[in-house]
């Protein structure tokens, strides 16, 4: 197991390096705009713009900027934010807990709701309950995240005035963002759980368990659900990265001071160090989550082992 973990970490290093390289090159080659011009303003003289570019190190060749970037990143220094004029890692570390909290609660509630709905639809397959829930699942699965967030704001914040919109000081501020992200997670898990459970419920060992007189609850939760968890766990792990990406839009809609909102502001202001650091943080988190998912496989299914 330890060798497997070390091997995965070794593989992650060149992957992270490739991500950092792509982001670095894309920002300077494919993304239009000059951070120095944004800082100097429209009325700035060419001399002032060039002076700002020199202070930011943007007047150096791209290959030299890249080597400096790699050297500093290897020492944990992702640079100074062009807009905030503070170390970007200090800013991200103060914002990252909000993104982690929204993602964690969204994954937790969305997965729990999706498992519940998926089990019900599998048990009631072909009945009006199954048909009704499938219509609801397809409906909410088709709704864009940003539109759902806006609708929730109009209903619960503007119309009913029972939940706040902006900020992150109380638990009420997280209700609408978590609900927005949980819906898509729940519909995805529900569809996968239903298909997996239907296949497992028709298996021979389930019929054997029923012939032995085991309670239906034990058959469903212990035998059927446990054998359906591998694909569900895979999707949950992958959806963490999706929710981290979805948080970019959700945090902007609800005004949460998370990494997603920092990324949007950084892109608009051509804040290269901030963009690079936020992408790197999300990439490392996604790689770490996938490692945890692989380790959970062995816990759920004893037939899986890493040696």
Q: Averaged over 83-95, what is the pLDDT?
A: 82
Instruction: Note the helical H segments in the chain.
Output: 2-29, 35-40, 46-56, 62-74, 88-123, 128-141, 145-152, 172-201, 204-211, 216-218, 225-227, 229-254, 259-268, 272-300
Q: Averaged over 131-150, what is the pLDDT?
A: 86
Amino acid 239: pLDDT: 77
User: Bridge-partner residues for 87, per DSSP?
Assistant: 80
HEC string of 130-159?
HHHHHHHHHHHHCCCHHHHHHHHHHHHHHH
Amino acid 33: pLDDT: 65
Amino acid 34: pLDDT: 66
pTM for the model: 0.77
d(CA 173, CA 165): 7
> HSE of 301 in the Cβ direction (CA atoms, 13 Å)?
16
* Residue 116 near residue 136, CB atoms below 8 Å: no
Domains of the chain: 2-74 (no CATH), 88-300 (1.10.3720.10)
pLDDT exceeds 60 at position 306: no
- Percent over 90 (pLDDT), the chain: 1
Q: In this predicted model, what pLDDT tens digit does every residue of 251-270 receive, in sequence order?
A: 777 877 778 778 888 877 77
Question: What is each CA distance from 211 to 9, 82, 223, 300, in whole angstroms?
Answer: 47, 69, 14, 25
Burial of 158 (0-12, 13-18, 19+ CB in 10 A): exposed
Higher pLDDT, 38 or 187: 187
Q: Averaged over 157-172, what is the pLDDT?
A: 79
pLDDT confidence band for 143 (50 / 70 / 90):
confident
Closest CA to 28 of 69, 77, 75, 86: 69
pLDDT confidence band for 298 (50 / 70 / 90):
low
pLDDT exceeds 60 at position 271: yes
* C-beta neighbour count of 272 within 10 angstroms: 24
Amino acid 302: pLDDT: 61
DSSP state of 228: T
Q: Averaged over 125-153, what is the pLDDT?
A: 86
Task: Report the C-alpha dihedral over residues 275, 279, 281, 286, rounded to 10 degrees.
Answer: 170
Q: Is 280 helix (H, G, I), strand (E, B) or coil?
A: helix
Amino acid 194: pLDDT: 87
Q: Averaged over 268-275, what is the pLDDT?
A: 79
């Amino acid at each position: 197991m330890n060798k497997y973990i070390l091997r995965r970490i070794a593989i992650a290093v060149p992957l992270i390096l490739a991500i950092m390289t792509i982001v670095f090159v894309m920002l300077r080659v494919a993304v239009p705009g000059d951070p120095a011009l944004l800082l100097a303003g429209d009325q700035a003289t060419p001399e002032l713009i060039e002076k700002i570019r020199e202070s930011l190190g943007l007047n150096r060749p791209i290959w030299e900027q890249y080597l400096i970037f790699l050297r500093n990143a290897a020492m944990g220094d992702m640079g100074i934010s062009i807009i905030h004029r503070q170390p970007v890692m200090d800013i991200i570390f103060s914002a990252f807990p909000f993104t982690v909290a929204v993602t964690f609660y969204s994954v937790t509630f969305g997965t729990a709701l999706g498992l519940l709905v998926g089990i019900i639809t599998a048990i009631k397959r072909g009945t009006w309950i199954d048909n009704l829930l499938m219509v609801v699942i397809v409906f909410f699965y088709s709704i864009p995240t940003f539109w759902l967030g806006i609708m929730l704001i109009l209903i619960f914040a503007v119309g009913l005035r029972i939940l706040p919109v902006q900020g992150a000081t109380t638990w009420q501020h997280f209700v609408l963002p978590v609900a927005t992200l949980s819906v898509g997670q729940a519909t995805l898990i529900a569809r996968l759980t239903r298909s997996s459970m239907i296949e497992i419920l028709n298996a021979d060992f389930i019929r054997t368990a029923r012939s032995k007189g085991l309670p239906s609850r034990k058959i469903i939760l212990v035998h059927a659900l446990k054998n359906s968890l591998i694909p569900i766990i895979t999707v949950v792990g992958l959806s963490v990265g999706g929710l981290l990406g979805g948080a970019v839009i959700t945090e902007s809609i609800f005004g949460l001071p998370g990494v997603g909102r920092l990324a949007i502001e950084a892109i608009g202001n051509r804040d290269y160090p901030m963009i690079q650091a936020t992408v790197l943080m999300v990439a490392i988190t996604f790689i770490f989550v996938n490692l945890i998912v692989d380790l959970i496989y062995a816990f759920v299914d004893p037939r899986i082992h890493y040696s």
